[in-house]
Amino acid sequence: MPSLWEGFADLSAGLSYRFNEHWGCSAIYRYEIFELSKEYQILYQEGTSATGAPAGNQALNTLDGFYRNATANVFELFVQYKF
What local confidence, expressed as pLDDT, does residue 7 receive? 87
Using an 8 Å Cβ cutoff, are 33 and 74 in contact?
no
Residue type, 27: A
What local confidence, expressed as pLDDT, does residue 73 receive? 96
Sequence ranges of the domains in the chain: 6-81
What local confidence, expressed as pLDDT, does residue 68 receive? 75
- Using DSSP's 3-state secondary structure scheme, residue 40 falls into helix
Spans in the chain with pLDDT lower than 70:
1-2, 41-67
What local confidence, expressed as pLDDT, does residue 6 receive? 82
Q: Taking CA 33 as the corner, what is the angle to CA 30 and CA 39, rounded to the nearest 5 degrees?
A: 170
pTM value is: 0.60
What local confidence, expressed as pLDDT, does residue 19 receive? 96
